[in-house]
């Protein structure tokens, strides 16, 4: 009813003008929807072709997952844990509570870790990432190839006693050599060995500074200066001793050589 009224309300001369207007020969554009193609992908849809696929969505998923695991991998598969433990022991042995700060020690440990792991990173890039980018291997195979250099790096620093502990707990047979250990055993054995090495080095660092503390405490008690805290005298003496022997150079050099 509304359409009829609107049509009736149009003036006759205007209606005649519309009817007499010649055609230009150009058809009006059609906005009819295109037929849906069965192979056409929805732009809002993320399709993963499988573990062996090489779709960009799967690559992004793997990279994002790897980024979330970087802190744990940095601690468990690199020398970072040993270096940070040793630096914290050094700060306690010198009697310094906040100097160097935690950020400084973490940054120093990161720099030393990157320096030590550069050859391993180069091997992972050439053996794993380059074939993956060239499409020669899939993501799973690239991961397996990338773990080979890490295995070669971690294996020499694993104590046999630690490896036997996790082999027994995992109910796995004893391998012929340490290179045949599964990552289920290799990873916890490595981090346990690194913790022990860090504590051993820290204990050795404490010994000379402990001697200084004992000597200063004995001298203060012998002269009757009981109200004077020994830390007031021992801390400058320990710092002077550490600087005289070029302690940072000796410590960093020894730590670097322990990983060669």
- 199 pLDDT band, cuts 50/70/90, is very high
Mean pLDDT for 122-147 is 82
Mean pLDDT for 210-220 is 84
> Of 160, 177, 189, which Cα lies nearest the Cα of 77?
189
Residue environment code for 57-66, b if the CB has 16+ CB neighbours within 10 A, otherwise e: ebeeebeeee
**Beta-carbon contacts of residue 46 (< 8 Å; ≥ 6 apart):** 57
Q: Is it the case that residue 260 has pLDDT exceeding 80?
A: no
CA 226/CA 244 separation, integer angstroms: 29
This prediction has a pTM of 0.68
pLDDT above 70 as % of the chain: 78
Q: Is it the case that residue 47 has pLDDT exceeding 60?
A: no
- Could you give the maximum distance between any two Cα atoms of the chain, in Å? 126
Mean pLDDT for 232-241 is 85
Residue 141: how many CA atoms within 13 Å on its side-chain side?
12
Three-state secondary-structure class, residue 226: coil
Instruction: Between 175 and 200, name the one with better pLDDT.
Output: 200
Q: Which of 83-97, 132-146, 193-207 has the lowest mean pLDDT?
A: 132-146
How does pLDDT run across 78-134, given as a tens digit for each residue?
899 899 999 999 998 888 888 888 899 999 999 999 999 888 888 888 888 888 888
User: Which residue do the tokens 């929807």 mark?
Assistant: 33
User: Which residue do the tokens 């397996």 mark?
Assistant: 144
Average pLDDT, the chain: 76
**Structure tokens given for 139:** 């993501």
So what's the pLDDT on residue 29?
A: 47
- 66 pLDDT band, cuts 50/70/90, is confident
**Structure tokens given for 226:** 């009981």
Distance of CA 231 to the CA centre of its chain: 39
Task: Calculate the dihedral angle through the C-alpha atoms of 150, 154, 155, 157, rounding to the nearest 10 degrees.
Answer: 170
């Amino acid at each position: 009813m509304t359409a009829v009224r609107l049509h009736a309300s149009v003036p006759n001369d205007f209606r005649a003008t519309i009817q007499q207007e010649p055609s230009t020969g150009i058809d009006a554009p059609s906005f009819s929807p295109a037929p849906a193609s069965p192979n056409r992908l929805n732009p809002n849809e993320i399709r993963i072709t499988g573990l062996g696929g090489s779709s960009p969505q799967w690559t992004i998923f793997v990279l994002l997952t790897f980024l979330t695991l970087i802190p744990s991998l940095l601690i468990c598969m690199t020398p970072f844990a040993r270096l940070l433990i040793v630096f914290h022991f050094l700060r306690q042995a010198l009697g310094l509570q906040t100097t160097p700060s935690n950020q400084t020690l973490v940054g120093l440990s990161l720099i030393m870790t990157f320096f030590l792991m550069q050859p391993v990173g180069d091997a992972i890039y050439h053996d794993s990432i380059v074939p993956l980018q060239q499409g020669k291997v899939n993501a799973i195979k690239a991961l397996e190839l990338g773990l080979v250099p890490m295995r070669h790096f971690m294996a020499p620093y694993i104590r046999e006693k630690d490896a036997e502990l996790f082999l027994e707990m995992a109910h796995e047979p004893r391998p012929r050599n340490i290179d045949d250990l599964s990552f289920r055993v290799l990873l916890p054995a490595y981090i346990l060995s690194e913790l022990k090495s860090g504590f051993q080095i820290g204990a050795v660092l404490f010994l000379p500074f402990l001697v200084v503390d004992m000597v200063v405490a004995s001298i203060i008690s012998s002269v009757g200066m009981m109200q004077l805290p020994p830390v007031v005298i021992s801390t400058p003496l320990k710092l002077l001793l550490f600087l005289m022997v070029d302690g940072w150079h000796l410590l960093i050099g020894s730590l670097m050589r322990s990983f060669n």
